[in-house]
Amino acid sequence: MNRQYILARRPVGLPTAEGIAALGQWLAEGRIAHREHVVDRLQNALDAFHMLFDGRNTGKLIVRIAEVE
């Protein structure tokens, strides 16, 4: 009986250390840009949640509840 096994070093789809390092470098160099859509105040969190489903947000949606000092 012939049995074959496929062994992987890591699960498929998980980023490698080299890939993460390259992405970090590209982000620092400005070769990759990301968008953030910031909604202020916790009172607006429900509206921000609805933005996820009706397409009003652009990029990562963040609800800012306090200013960082």
pLDDT per residue as tens digits for the range 1-16: 556 655 555 556 667 8
CA distances from 54 to 5, 10, 12, 50, 58 (A): 46, 37, 32, 6, 11
Cα gap 5→49, rounded to integer Å: 46
The pTM score is: 0.55
pLDDT per residue as tens digits for the range 8-49: 555 566 678 888 898 889 989 999 888 899 999 999 999 999
pLDDT per residue as tens digits for the range 50-59: 999 998 988 8
SS3 content of the chain, % helix, strand, coil (to 5): 40, 15, 50
In the chain, domain spans? 35-69
Cα gap 24→31, rounded to integer Å: 10
